[in-house]
Amino acid sequence: MNQFIEQIIYGIQLGSIYALIALGYTMVYGIVKLINFAHGDILMMGAYFGLLSVTLLDIPFGLAIVLSMAVCAVIGMLIDIIAYKPLRNAPRISALITAIGVSLFLENIYRVMFGAETRKMVIPTSLTQTIAIGNIKISYVTLLTVFLTIICMVALQLVVKKTKVGKAMRAVSEDQQAARLMGVNVNLTISMTFALGSALAALGGVLYSVTYYQVEPYMGMMPGLKAFVAAVLGGIGIIPGAMFGGYALGLIENLAKAYVSSSWSNAIAFGILILILLFKPAGLFGKNVREKV
């Protein structure tokens, strides 16, 4: 029983990381109907910026997280302006191919800059300790991951529901042309969406590197794909759905590793994607919308 509870706890930790990345996918898709496959590489960049901030700039770990999120937010806006903005009115397949190209570009430029070797994230010694609740041991890294994820999710909901930027995002998501006629700066709103999603992915990247002690150019590929599965599971374009999908996938993957086989965990994750697309393509929280042709 203790082992089962520990697996649930660490599944929640992994699900928190997936949820942070899935939020970026679902926010961008909700506004511009784009699957930003370069989003997983923002995770990788966030991990590298966090590592460089701690090792080269010698700043505290908490400040390194904030700096990494800020830098990745700016990079996310630049990616939108340079790569996606010229394709606003192009067919969706053009933007999709561009997203794959941006992903490959980021992975390989970081491989050239930093090499292919795996680096170890430097973290405070306090985070390596554990807390015991009965016979169950929980690491401080797990508590930090879950705590920061909940804080960011609550903050994101407040931004989307209570601020002018959030109202603009919802307006653009509903109807870009009508939002533009009402005075909303559509391009700026889309760029702000990329910035928020990229900041969350950077946080996910730092937490992922802290959890698995690895930073390398291709580290964002698999978490990015699984976060996409999480977004589809919950209903892509729906923020609560991305949160639920992230936690659900994290729990399923962790339990599969513990009680089935670690070699089957990826197959199970992508099998879920196939089943969702077959039986409920809109996701668990989504609704089928009819389009007039």
Q: How far apart are CA 149 and CA 283, in angstroms?
A: 22
DSSP 81: I
pLDDT of the chain, 293 residues: tens digit per residue: 778 888 888 889 889 999 999 988 888 888 888 888 889 899 999 999 999 999 888 889 889 999 999 999 999 999 999 999 998 888 888 888 999 999 999 999 999 999 888 888 888 777 778 887 777 888 888 888 889 988 988 888 888 888 888 889 889 888 888 888 888 898 899 999 999 999 999 999 999 998 887 899 999 888 888 998 898 888 887 888 888 999 999 999 888 888 888 788 888 888 888 888 888 888 888 665 555 54
Q: How far apart are CA 264 and CA 256, in angstroms?
A: 7
Q: How far apart are CA 280 and CA 88, in angstroms?
A: 28
Q: How far apart are CA 249 and CA 22, in angstroms?
A: 11
pTM attached to this predicted model = 0.89
First-to-final CA distance of the chain:
55
- Which domains does the chain carry? 2-279 (1.10.3470)
